[in-house]
Amino acid sequence: MLSQLTRMPAEMSSDSRRQLLNAVTDLFLLDEAPNDAVQAHYGDIALRSLPHLETEARRDYADRVAETPSLPREVAVTLASDPDADVARLVLKLSPVLTDTDLAAIAVTQSQRHLVAIAERARLSESVTEILVERGDREVLHTVSANEGASLSEKGFDRLVERGGHDSEINLAITTRSDLTPDRAQRVMRIVEQLSDEGGLWSKPNSEALTLARQARQQRLEIKLLLADLAAGARALDEITTMLAEEDRAFHLALVFAQVASLSTDQALRVLMQRDASGIAVACRALGIGSDAFKAVLELRARRMMFAKSATDDDLRAYAALDPAMAERTMRFLKLKTKLS
């Protein structure tokens, strides 16, 4: 059927194409693992239809397929590159199909509203973040600085501080990042002191930024102590997990999971913050984390990614039914696969 539909008559109206695309999308989304031929035929239909759709129809379609992992990459790139940022927004923010190369190309060529949407992604590579920091306006810089999933290279961090140095909100976001290393904190402090000398935004000796910078250093020390307590049996993993989740400290929680599960911090943060809760559920069940602590993790995720309460309740029920032995086997397989890759 999909093969036949690729031979659409050129004289079809915009509304007819919209109806056809919606109908074919209904069928396409029913297949959780479409083969290459089905993806190719569906992609052909979508790519033929999109140029003829009105803006509202393109936006509705983009919002519908934004999170679809089987969406043909050409379709995802076309939607993400749409000149209308309202069409591109959710695809740029949520699509698992877009590669770093795709995001970089869009970040170089599209509007600031496109850049904001990219900056809101749960995970951003250093190379993409560097482009956002270089091209972005104030809103983009603030979004990047507040997004702990945005990886910052040394060059990207320095450029972010340089460009945001005279903006109080951006500097506050930088100084409260959980991944602020001691070296980077010192660099921020030097800029703070320089701006204070210049009579800038940080001229007050007891500025909130200085307080928050000290708080960030204290939190890093606290994590080291919590991990030491955990290793010594003085604190339970459930207690630490609940505390960090309730305090909305996603990066620190990922550090703990990485240490306990023998994962990299990047892997732990990716699992924690990806939209599908299956990965974090398997990891937590394998670590023996109880339902109450996992509920706190789900609530952290819901706050960060604006999930509905019903989705959190569904994930909690699924967690209760998850077999611990199966979760442990899955974790062992993933670790082995990581070592071999």
Contacting residues for 129 by C-beta, under 8 A, at least 6 apart:
144, 150, 151, 152, 153, 156
Whether residue 157 has pLDDT greater than 80: yes
Question: What integer is the mean pLDDT of 155-167?
Answer: 85
Question: What integer is the mean pLDDT of 85-108?
Answer: 96
Provide the mean pLDDT of the chain. Answer: 84
**297 located within any domain:** yes
The answer to whether the CB of 238 falls within 8 A of the CB of 290 is yes
Whether residue 273 has pLDDT greater than 90: no
**Per-residue pLDDT, 115:** 97
**Per-residue pLDDT, 291:** 94
**Per-residue pLDDT, 326:** 86
Range of the domain at 291: 236-340
**Per-residue pLDDT, 171:** 76
Question: What integer is the mean pLDDT of 113-138?
Answer: 95
Angle at CA 326, nearest 5°, toward 322 and 331? 110
Q: Which amino acid is at 253?
A: L
Whether residue 196 has pLDDT greater than 70: no
Domain edge (last residue) among 98, 120, 151: 98
pLDDT tier at 56 (50, 70, 90 boundaries)? very high
**Per-residue pLDDT, 6:** 45
Domains of the chain: total: 2
The answer to whether the CB of 246 falls within 8 A of the CB of 301 is no
Cα distances from 243 to residues 177, 209, 247, 290, in angstroms, run 18, 24, 6, 14
% of the chain residues with pLDDT over 90: 46
**285 located within any domain:** yes
Q: Tokens standing for 72?
A: 């043909």
**269 located within any domain:** yes
Lowest mean pLDDT among 85-94, 168-177, 186-195, 251-260: 186-195
Contacting residues for 124 by C-beta, under 8 A, at least 6 apart:
103, 118, 132, 144, 147, 149, 150, 151
pLDDT tier at 61 (50, 70, 90 boundaries)? very high
Domain edge (last residue) among 73, 98, 123: 98
Whether residue 334 has pLDDT greater than 70: no
Q: Tokens standing for 202?
A: 């940080």
**199 located within any domain:** no
Q: Tokens standing for 50?
A: 């999109």
Question: What integer is the mean pLDDT of 132-142?
Answer: 95
C-alpha to C-alpha distance for 82 and 104, rounded to whole angstroms:
15
Number of other residues whose CB lies within 10 A of the CB of residue 187 = 17
Whether residue 199 has pLDDT greater than 50: no
pLDDT tier at 172 (50, 70, 90 boundaries)? confident
- Tokens 């007050």 belong to 204
pLDDT tier at 4 (50, 70, 90 boundaries)? very low
Question: What integer is the mean pLDDT of 238-265?
Answer: 89
pLDDT tier at 324 (50, 70, 90 boundaries)? confident
* Long-range CB contacts for residues 328-333, cutoff 8 Å, separation at least 24: 328/286, 330/282, 330/286, 331/261, 331/282, 331/283, 331/286
Phi, psi (deg, nearest 5) at residue 66: -55, -40
**294 located within any domain:** yes
Q: Radius of gyration over alpha carbons of the chain, in Å?
A: 23
**Per-residue pLDDT, 95:** 95
Helix axes 309-320, 291-305, angle to 10 degrees: 150
**151 located within any domain:** no
**306 located within any domain:** yes
Domain edge (last residue) among 44, 66, 98: 98
SS3 251: helix
**56 located within any domain:** yes
Whether residue 143 has pLDDT greater than 80: yes
